Chains A and B, each alone.
Chain A
Amino acid sequence: MSFELETAENRENLRRVAIEPVSRVEGHGKVTLLIDEHDQVREARLHIVEFRGFEVFIQGRPYWEVPVMVQRLCGICPVSHHLAAAKALDIAVGAAPVTASAEKLRRLMHYGQILQSHALHFFHLSSPDLLFGFESDVARRNIVGVAAAHPEVARQGVLLRKFGQEVIRATAGKKVHGTGAVPGGMNRHLSAEDHALLSRDIHQIVDWSRAAVELVKRLHRADPALYDVFGTFDSGFMSLVRSDGAMDLYHGDLRFRDAQGRILRDHVPDQDYHEVISEEVKPWSYMKFPFLNDLGPEAGWYKVGPLARVQNCDFIPTPLAEAERREFVDYGQGRPIHASLAYHWARMIEMLHAAEVIRGLLDDPDLMSGALLTEGAHRREGVGIIEAPRGTLIHHYRIGEDDLVTMCNLIVSTTHNNQAMNSAVREVAKRYLSGRTLTEGLLNHIEVAIRAYDPCLSCATHALGQMPLVVELAGPDGTVHDRVVRD
C-alpha cells in the first residue's frame, strides 16, 4: 500500500532534491523530494538506514553479557537499551518482579536518562528553531545562538543534562558502559555520597523543569497558527501504561488509541507484543513500518514518544506534571493533539515528571539498602519493553541450553515512528514547500518536522568529518544543477 505523496507517478520526469548526509556511518537520515516543473512536491520520503547487524552482534553471546553489550548500540540512549535488555533477561532468569530496591534503583536510572535526554533535545536541538524561527539566520540556529539571546535558558539546559548524567553515573556505576542492571536485579545501591549530591540539586532541577514547561507553553501561545498546524496529521498512539492507567515509563502493559482518542487495545502484556504488532517492509526504505495488526498497515500505524504517552495515559502520578497534562489535554478541546510541534510541549511535561519521580525516589530508603538480586525458574525466552526518551523500545531474546543468545529482536522507538515521521515530512512539504523556490530556510522546515520526533539516528559512532549535510538539486536526467554542503 502507499500513502499520499509516498510514490509519485512518472517519477523519471521529476526533479529530485535530496537532503542527505554524505556518510552512512552516522548520518542515517535522508529526505528525498520529487518536484515537478511547477515546483509542486509530488513525492516526499524520509529514509533511515537502520542499524543492521546488531541482532547478529548479540546472537551467540552469553545472556548475562547482553545488558552491557547493548549499550554499544547507541551513544545517545545506552541506558534505555541497558534496562530493556535487563528487563527481558529478568524473565529468562525467573526474576519478575525484581526486588523493591532493584526496581527503584532502575527507575532512578531510567528517569535520569529521560531527564537528560529531554533536556538535550529541547535546549540543544530544538529550542534554536523555536526561539528564532525556522527561517532565521542559520548561524544563530544552535545552542550558542540561544545562549547569546537567552543565556539562562541555555545554561539551565546544560545543567539539567548534567544532572541527569550524574543520576546515571550514580546508579549505573559510570556514565559509559554502566553495569548497574543485571539479569535479576541490580549490582549496587546508591551510595550515601551520591545520594547527598543528587538530593542537594534535585529541587533546583524540578524548578528548572517547571520553567521549561512554561517556556514551551509561551511559544505555543505566541504563535498558535504555526504550532497547531505545522506537521499535523491524524494517527493512533501507542505506549506502555501502568495497570491503573497511569503514565509509567519503566514498566506496564501496551495500550493503543485511535486518532480520536478511543482505546483500541488495552492491557496487552509486554510478553505478547508480537501478537499485536507487525512490521511492513517497503522497497525504498531500510527501516520497517510497524502497525497494529487489528487495523493493518494502512490504518494501524501510530505515534510513540512524549506526544503519545501524555495522551495515552489516564493520568500522570506526580502532581506538577499531572497539572500540566490536564492543561495540555484541555488545549485539545476534547480531541487528541496531533501537531508535531506539540511533541516539545509533551516532552517538557515528561521532563518535569521525571524530575518529580527522581525527587520522590531520593526519599526512599530502599535505594540505599535491601536485597538487589532475585532468581527463579529459568525460561529460555524473555521480552523487555521500556518507554525510552523517544518512545517504546522492545527487546526480545531467546536463549539456548548453553546459555548463549540464539535470537534477538529489537524494535526501537524511531522505527515505531517511521510512518509518523514520513507523514510529517509529507504534510510539511505539501503545505510549506510546494510551489515555492526552495531555500535553506524552507528545507529546514523538513528538518524541524523530523526533529520534533527526536529520532535517534546516531548509532554510537561518529568519527570526525562524518556529518556534512548535502542538498542536491538534480534534473530529470540526474544531472546535478545545484549542490550545497552544510557541515
Chain B
Amino acid sequence: MEGPAPRVLVLAVGNESRGDDALGPLLARRLEELDLPGVRVLADFQLQVEHALEMDGAARVLFVDAARGLAGPFSLAPVAPAAGRTAFSHALAPAAVLAVFEQVLGRPAPPAWVLGVAGESFELGEGLSPQSAAAAEQAWALLQRLLARAADWDSELTAR
C-alpha cells in the first residue's frame, strides 16, 4: 500500500562533476538520506519541461540550485510562473517550469521557492570550493528547518 502523496517536492539541479554546480545534488542526497515523511526529492542535471509534471500533487515546491552573485551564502525567494526561453540553451528556469505546469495541466502551479546556494567555480573535475562547502552547511540547516515546519516558509525568506 502506498502512503499519501508527498506534499513537498524538492527539485535539486546541478552536475556533481562541475565544482560548485554539485551543490544542488549534494544537498538532495543528504535530504534523501533523511527520508522525511511528506517530502519527495528529485535531482537532475537541468530543469526541463517534464519536471512540470513531477509537481502534480505537490502542495509546495522548493528548487535548490547553485547560484552566482549572491550577497550571502544562500538566498530563499518565492518564484512565480513566468514564460521564458533561453536563446541557446535547452534548460528552463524555475519560473518557466511553473508556467509549463499551468499551461499543460490547466490549473495554478503550487507555491514555489528557490533556494540558491552561493557557488563561484564550475570547472569540470573540480570539487566544491571551500566557500561553497561552507555555504552548503548553512543552506542545509535552513533546509532542515524549512522541511520540519513547512507552514512557516514565508518567515524564512532571505531574498536579497
Contacts and interface: CB of A to CB of B under 8 A. Distances in A.
A28 B89 CA distance: 9
Contact of A142 (B45, B52, B84): B84
A139 B87 contact: no
Contacts of B16: 72
A157 B49 contact: yes
Interface in B27-67: 43-46, 48-50, 52-53, 65-67
B52 A176 contact: no
Nearest to B116: A464
Interface stretch (A35-43, A190-198, A255-263, A452-460): A452-460
Interface residues of A, number: 60
A457 B46 CA distance: 13
Contact of A450 (B17, B84, B88, B124): B88
Contact of B87 (A121, A459, A486): A486
Contact of A145 (B49, B68, B83): B83
Interface in A461-485: 461-467, 469
- Secondary structure call for the A interface: mixed
A148 B90 CA distance: 21
A124 to B, nearest CB: 6
B85 A142 contact: yes
B67 A465 contact: yes
B122 A143 contact: no
Interface stretch (A50-58, A87-95, A422-430): A50-58
Interface in A1-36: 19, 21, 23, 25-29
A207 B100 CA distance: 23
21 contacts: A54-B124, A72-B18, A75-B44, A76-B46, A120-B90, A141-B85, A142-B96, A144-B102, A161-B48, A165-B50, A175-B44, A176-B43, A447-B88, A458-B46, A458-B88, A462-B91, A463-B20, A463-B68, A463-B122, A464-B116, A467-B93
Interface of B: 13-18, 20-21, 43-46, 48-50, 52-53, 65-69, 83-91, 93, 96, 99-100, 102-104, 114, 116, 119, 122-125
